[in-house]
Structures are given as C-alpha cells and as structure tokens.
Amino acid sequence: SSGAWFSEVSAVCPGQSFSLEIEKVLYHKRSLYQDVLVFQSKTYGRVLALDGMIQVTERDEFAYQEMLAHLPMFSHPSPHKVLIVGGGDGGILREVLKHEAVETVVQCEIDADVVSVSKEWLPFLSSSFQHPKLHLHIGDGFEFLKNHPAEFDVIITDSSDPIGPAESLFGEGYFQLLAQALRPHGLVALQGESVWLHLELIKSMTASCRKWFPVVEYAWSSVPSYPSGQIGYILCSSNHDTHFRRPLRHIEAPQLATWNLRYYDADVHAAAFVLPKFASENLSSS
Ligand code: PUT
C-alpha cells in the first residue's frame, strides 16, 4: 500500500469528505473538460473520479447502474430506442443492452477521454462499447437533444454533478428538450443526487420537471461511495398513466441468471420510491 488517500473535497458536498486508501494511481490527466483520475483502491477495487468526485467504484457501481437503467427500462412497455446522455464509463449502456426489446442505443458523451480511459482501465464497465446496437456520439448532450425531436422511448441522463461540464443537464431548459425528444409515452431518468445533501436542488429539479411531464417521481438507492451513501433517480413520464412504482415488465426466469443483477429486482424497484418523511414531505407533487 502507498499509504496515500484520495479525499473528495468539493462544493458539491461542502463540509464533509469521503476518503479511500489508494493502492496505485493508474491514470491521471486533464481532459478537455475535466480532471480524470483512475486508481486502484485498497478496498473498493478500481475507482474513477472526475474533477475530484467519485463516479464509480468497482465494489458498488452495480447499485447505481442497475437502478438508473432498470427503473425506467422496466417502466416502459417496449423500449426500442434508448438515448443515454453522459454515462461515458459504459455502465448504463451495459445494463440497457440486457433488455431484448432494445433495437438501438444512442449515447451522447461530452468527454471522449472518459470513454477511452474506461475502455483501458475499467473493463467491467466498458465491455459494451463494441456492441452493434450502439451509436456513440461524442458531443454536448444539451446541443444533441435540440436536433433529435420525438425520437426516443427512454432517455437516461447519467451525469456527474451540477458543478462542471454537466451543469446544463440540471436545468429546466434541459428538461424541456428531454420532453421534446421523446416518442409518445416516452420516459426519462436523471441522476438525482442525495436527499441528505441536495434536497433544495432536488426540489427545484422535480418542480421544473413537473412543468414538462405529467408524472415525476424520485427514487433512491444506497451507494456507499457516493456522498452521504445515498443517491437518487428522477423519473419522468410523458404518459399520465405511468405508475413508476410498479414495474411493467419482469425478467423471465430462464434469462435471469444471464442478467447477473446484484441490486435490482421487482421488490427493490417498488421499495425505491418509498422515501423517508423529511424527503417525501418536500418532494411530493401535491
Ligand atoms: N454518474 C455518477 C454520479 C455521481 C454523483 N456524485
């Protein structure tokens, strides 16, 4: 062990700092957009940090990837065409492609270096970048959406935090573009931050989403390496009849083993929408 520690110090989570012991730094460079760091940690496997914020660790990445991908995917009856905005490590893509209904995945990631670094250092996440159903576009998700009206069944935004290159993906202008890029009955899922740290941000995001979508819900999961150990998912539907709390589809038993799920199942899906009182009082639509 090097005896060195990585500590998250950021305005995203002021006054606190989560730390991991570093075994070896594998990659550290500034890309066009941000500081990109990959290290081997002592107890969480490989870790990707962007601008000093942990994006994934090998130990707990499945909790985030499975929930952000499968909550919307199992809430849509037939998700044929899916857009991933961000998600440059490839984890959401890996999960989305498990759904047989998917014919095309378009992914728009702003930072080509995140994709290439993930291909080289994070193979457990990036294994699907060669998939024939994928159309990978390197560019700004906000700008991309302006040119793709009424095209997608499901749009998943796997962003970093609102300070840095992902800032535009947290505002009302972006939610309007998402609503316009959906096919009829389309759904959206967004990285929704932590109720312990970002309740005001989540309140304003869900209120803005409600201007563009008739159904908006917040679900959550535990992810120990994210600030406060909890992260949320904002789910929006353009269909009044969507009930996010009940998955519409289930995995057939023979396929279940090949999906290799470690966090998500139908019970976890339903339970994810049950919020502690301080959060539900702030986030309910009524
Ligand atoms: N896409 C990773 C989310 C990290 C939030 N801090």
Is ligand 1 within 6 A of the CB of residue 191?
yes
How does residue 105 score in pLDDT terms, banded at 50, 70 and 90? very high
Amino acid (one-letter) located at 110: I
Is ligand 1 within 6 A of the CB of residue 113?
no
Whole-model pTM over 0.90: yes
158 is catalytic: yes
Query: In the chain, count of helices (H) and strands (E)?
Result: 10, 12
Distance 159 CA to ligand 1 centre (A): 6
Statement: residue 14 has pLDDT above 60: yes
Distance 184 CA to ligand 1 centre (A): 29
Atom number of ligand 1 nearest to Cα 12: 6
How does residue 2 score in pLDDT terms, banded at 50, 70 and 90? low
Q: DSSP letters along 190-213, please?
A: EE---TTT-HHHHHHHHHHHHTT-
In terms of C-beta density within 10 A (0-12 exposed, 13-18 middle, 19 or more buried), how is residue 75 classed?
A: buried
Q: Tell me, what's the ipTM?
A: 0.96
Atom number of ligand 1 nearest to Cα 158: 1
Q: At what angle do helices 199-210 and 172-181 cross, to 10 degrees?
A: 40
Work out the average pLDDT over 159-183.
Answer: 94
- The pair of structure tokens assigned to 134 is 């994928």
Statement: residue 1 has pLDDT above 70: no
Q: DSSP letters along 107-141, please?
A: EEES-HHHHHHHHHH-HHHHTTTT-TTEEEEES-H
User: So what's the pLDDT on residue 111?
Assistant: 98
Atom number of ligand 1 nearest to Cα 227: 6
Q: Sign of torsion, CA 30 33 37 38?
A: negative
Which residues have a Cβ under 8 Å from the Cβ of 45 and sit 6 or more positions away? Answer: 57, 58, 59
Which helix (H) or strand (E) segment is 41 a member of? strand 35-41
Question: How do residues 147-170 score in pLDDT, each as one tens digit?
Answer: 999 999 999 999 999 998 999 999
* Percent share of the chain, pLDDT over 90: 93
Statement: residue 102 has pLDDT above 90: yes
Task: Name the catalytic one among 51, 89, 158, 161.
Answer: 158
Question: How do residues 210-232 score in pLDDT, each as one tens digit?
Answer: 999 999 999 999 999 999 999 99
Is ligand 1 within 6 A of the CB of residue 158?
yes
